């Protein structure tokens, strides 16, 4: 082979792998024994922070997520540590003021993050401006993400427009983020090829295995010129996670896109995490054997969420309504402008569909659906339909960047935390309190003193 262009890999075992298969319950102590070995493999990045890990550390593991990051950085010296950021939502579920976003990004980079993947649930790049600018200023590799989904409005041309907006915002690379396993192989080929040809920017493809297509999608994306793909070591791969690292490395041996990774060095690390997975399943009573679910290709909501909705219907004695719910989900999504179904839009649309089948269409409407319809989360990909316009009749539409309406919050948060008994709180503690106030206070009471309970 005269031309070699190794396919690079982001390893997700420390974040998305266990978030997908083990309810984000992996502890820092489970990671430490393998960090130095992972650092020697030659990965493009090790995804180890962000997503749901911040919340899970505080809420379930009695760990400080900032301390986890500093510990990771102690052991991982060569490979960039990457994290997933929800744009203006940071790692919470609401939009925060610009000063919170800027401070959070600065502190996470100072504490050890080298690559920041930033996305918005609606692909509204206005919600990415502040976090991307802050990450760039802090000196991190900025990876703007396109949330992939399927609808009449989600075409290669429209995704290319989002990619161009990300390039205009200064992204160093683009991630195609396929959170539900919807990206088909030949669609991926066209999308990657178009972005590479039109914009010339590095492309990272991140697929979940939920529908069973992800490995095929990676191969076609690679053929189209993708630079990086995300994989998880085998114990935390497949199901609703990513394709297995070892399998992809083996598949490309001797090929012009050979990763250059020695698969033999992956086996002992995988053996360690196989034990970790069993321990997590036993300790936290988890079902980690998650099958693929091809129904996601029709409903675009992962099977786990459909199971939750079925359980909720059963609790209300309405299990017979489940077939109606399955039909109602795509209908509501269309009526509210075809948002990609990822946190928080998946929960909002799913809840509305459940209300509709139990109580009658739009008889009871949660505020979140009204906020989504009127633009409080950002621009929906398509215009909302007439039925949704009736739902929000008389309410003010938001045409501007939603965070423009949020006054600075950092000084107020510091004062509030001082009133709770923490006048000397670090910036990191203030940020934890900003994102998860009650959970953070409970954690501080147990770990910081004085013995104040969350109010």
pLDDT at 289: 86
Report residue 284 as tokens: 């936290």
45-50/113-118 β-pairing: unpaired
* Cβ count near 337 (within 10 Å): 20
pLDDT at 25: 96
pLDDT at 303: 62
Q: What is the dihedral of CA 415, 419, 424, 426, to 10 degrees?
A: -60
pLDDT at 432: 98
Q: How far apart are CA 401 and CA 384, in angstroms?
A: 18
292: three-class secondary structure by DSSP: coil
**DSSP secondary structure code for residue 301 in this structure:** S
Are 221 and 229 a contacting pair, CB within 8 Å? yes
DSSP 404-439: GGPPP-HHHHHHHHHHTT-TT--HHHHHHHHH-HHH
Q: For the segment 381-408, what is each residue's pLDDT rounded down to a tens digit?
A: 999 999 999 999 999 999 999 999 999 9
Q: Is the pLDDT score of 326 beyond 70? A: yes
φ and ψ at 343, to 5 degrees?
-50, 130
Q: What is the enclosing helix (H) or strand (E) of 231?
A: strand 228-231
pLDDT at 452: 45
Domains of the chain are: 8-284 (3.20.20.70), 301-401 (1.10.472.90), 407-448 (1.10.10)
The arithmetic mean of pLDDT across residues 332-343, rounded, is 92
Cα within 13 Å of Cα(231), Cβ side? 25
Q: Is the pLDDT score of 192 beyond 50? A: yes
Preceding omega of 344 cis (within 30 degrees of 0): yes
Burial tier of 334 (Cβ tally within 10 Å: 0-12, 13-18, 19+): middle
The arithmetic mean of pLDDT across residues 48-61, rounded, is 96
pLDDT at 298: 80
Flag whether the pTM goes above 0.85. yes
Return left, alpha or beta for 260; rule: phi > 0 is left, psi -120 to 50 is alpha, else beta. left
**DSSP secondary structure code for residue 397 in this structure:** P
Percent above pLDDT 70 for the chain: 97
pLDDT at 32: 98
Q: How far apart are CA 249 and CA 241, in angstroms?
A: 17
pLDDT at 450: 55
Q: How far apart are CA 41 and CA 312, in angstroms?
A: 44
Are 403 and 90 a contacting pair, CB within 8 Å? no
Mean pLDDT of the chain: 94
Q: For the segment 2-52, what is each residue's pLDDT rounded down to a tens digit?
A: 468 999 999 999 999 999 999 999 999 999 999 999 999 999 999 999 999
Q: How far apart are CA 217 and CA 184, in angstroms?
A: 6
* Residues constituting the chain: 455
With cut-offs at 50, 70 and 90, classify the pLDDT of residue 455.
very low
Q: What is the enclosing helix (H) or strand (E) of 192?
A: helix 185-199
141-147/113-118 β-pairing: parallel
pLDDT at 371: 96
Q: For the segment 410-445, what is each residue's pLDDT rounded down to a tens digit?
A: 999 999 999 999 999 999 999 999 999 999 999 999
Report residue 251 as tokens: 């598949």
Give the distance between the most distant pair of CA atoms in the chain. Answer: 66
Q: For the segment 247-293, what is each residue's pLDDT rounded down to a tens digit?
A: 999 999 999 999 999 999 999 999 999 999 999 999 999 888 888 88
Percent above pLDDT 90 for the chain: 85
Q: Is the pLDDT score of 245 beyond 50? A: yes
Q: How far apart are CA 105 and CA 118, in angstroms?
A: 11
Report residue 433 as tokens: 């309190």
């Amino acid at each position: 082979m005269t031309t070699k262009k190794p396919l690079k890999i982001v390893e997700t075992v420390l974040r998305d792998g266990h978030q997908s298969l083990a309810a984000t319950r992996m502890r820092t102590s489970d990671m430490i024994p393998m960090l130095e070995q992972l650092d020697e493999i030659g990965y493009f990045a090790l995804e180890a922070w962000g997503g749901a890990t911040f919340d899970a550390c505080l809420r379930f593991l009695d760990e400080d997520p900032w301390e986890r990051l500093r510990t990771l950085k102690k052991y991982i010296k060569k490979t960039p540590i990457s994290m997933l950021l929800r744009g203006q939502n940071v790692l919470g579920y609401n939009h925060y003021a610009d000063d919170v976003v800027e401070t959070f990004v600065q502190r996470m980079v100072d504490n050890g993050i080298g690559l920041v993947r930033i996305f918005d649930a609606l692909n509204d790049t206005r919600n990415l401006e502040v976090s991307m600018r802050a990450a760039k200023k802090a000196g991190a590799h900025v990876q703007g993400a396109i949330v992939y989904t399927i609808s009449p409005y989600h075409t290669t041309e429209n995704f290319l427009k989002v990619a161009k907006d990300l390039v205009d915002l200064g992204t160093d690379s683009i991630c195609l983020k396929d959170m539900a396993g919807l990206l088909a192989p030949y669609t991926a080929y066209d999308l990657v090829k178009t972005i590479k040809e039109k914009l010339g920017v590095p492309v990272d493809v991140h697929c979940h295995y939920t529908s069973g297509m992800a490995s095929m999608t990676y191969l076609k994306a690679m053929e189209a010129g993708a630079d990086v793909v995300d994989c998880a070591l085998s114990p935390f791969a497949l199901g609703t996670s990513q394709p297995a690292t070892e399998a992809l490395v083996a598949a490309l041996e001797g090929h012009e896109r050979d990763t250059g990774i020695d698969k033999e060095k992956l086996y002992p690390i995988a053996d360690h995490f196989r034990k970790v997975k069993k321990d997590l399943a036993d300790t936290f009573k988890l079902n980690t054997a998650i099958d693929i679910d091809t129904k996601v290709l029709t409903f675009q909501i992962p099977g786990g969420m459909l199971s939750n909705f079925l359980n909720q219907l059963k609790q209300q004695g309405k299990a017979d309504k489940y077939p109606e719910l399955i039909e109602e989900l795509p209908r509501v999504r269309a009526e509210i402008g075809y948002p990609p179904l990822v946190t928080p839009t998946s929960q909002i649309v799913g809840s509305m569909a459940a209300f509709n089948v139990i109580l009658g269409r739009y008889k009871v409407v949660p505020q979140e659906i009204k906020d989504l319809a009127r633009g409080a989360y950002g621009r929906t990909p398509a215009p909302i339909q007439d039925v949704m316009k009736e739902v929000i009749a008389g309410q003010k539409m938001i045409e501007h960047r939603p965070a423009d309406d949020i006054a600075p919050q950092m000084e107020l948060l510091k004062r509030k935390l001082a009133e709770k008994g923490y006048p000397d709180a670090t910036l990191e503690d203030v940020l934890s309190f900003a994102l998860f106030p009650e959970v953070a206070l409970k954690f501080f009471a147990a770990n910081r003193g004085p013995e104040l309970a969350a109010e």
